[in-house]
Amino acid sequence: MPRKKKPLREMTKEELVKRLFPSKRLRDRLYEIAHERDEDEPPRRSQESEPPTQSELSI
């Protein structure tokens, strides 16, 4: 008897990724793209931190 598929809401993040992107090569490439940093981009700031100063805005 075939096993019943696990509902999406009960799957872990890793299980969902494997189900949506079965190719390991594709998953690895998407992970690289999602986590790459731009060399020219300044470091990201938390939205909870104080607003940027006037000198930072004028750049």
Within a domain: 17: yes
Query: Residue 30's domain spans which residues?
Result: 9-35
Within a domain: 50: no
pLDDT number for residue 34: 86
pLDDT number for residue 4: 87
Tokens 């509902």 map to which residue? 7
Within a domain: 47: no
Within a domain: 1: no
pLDDT number for residue 26: 94
Within a domain: 14: yes
Domain count, the chain: 1
pLDDT-derived band at 56, boundaries 50, 70, 90: low
Q: Provide the H-helix boundaries in the chain.
A: 13-20, 24-35, 54-57
